[in-house]
Amino acid sequence: MKGRVLIVAGSDSGGGAGIQADIKTVTALGGYAATAITALTAQNTQGVTGIHEVPSAFVGEQMRLVLADIGADCVKIGMLHRPDVIDAVRDVLDDEAPGVPVVVDPVMVAKGGARLLEPEAVEALKRRLIPGAGVITPNLAEAEVLTGLRVGGRDDLMPAARALAALGPQAVLLKGGHLDGPTVTDLLLTGAERPVLMDSPRIETRHTHGTGCTLASAVATGLAQGLDLGDAVDRARRYVHEALRSAPGYGHGHGPLNHGHTVAAFR
Beta strands 74-77 and 4-12 are parallel
Q: Are 18 and 79 in contact (CB under 8 A)?
A: yes
DSSP E strands: which ranges in the chain? 4-12, 32-44, 47-53, 74-77, 102-104, 135-136, 171-174, 183-190, 196-201
Beta-strand relationship, 4-12 and 32-44? parallel
Contact, 254 vs 207, CB < 8 A?
Answer: yes
C-alpha distances in angstroms, 127 versus 86, 120, 145? 10, 12, 14
User: How far apart are alpha carbons 124 and 155 in whole angstroms?
Assistant: 29
CB contact at 8 A, 260 and 24: yes
Residues classed as catalytic = 175, 208, 210-213
Long-range contacts (CB closer than 8 Å, 24 or more residues apart) made by 144-149? 145/108, 146/106, 146/122
Integer Rg of the chain from CA: 17
Distance, in Å, from the CA atom of 60 to the CA atom of 267, rounded to the nearest integer, reads 38
Tell me which DSSP letter residue 254 carries.
S
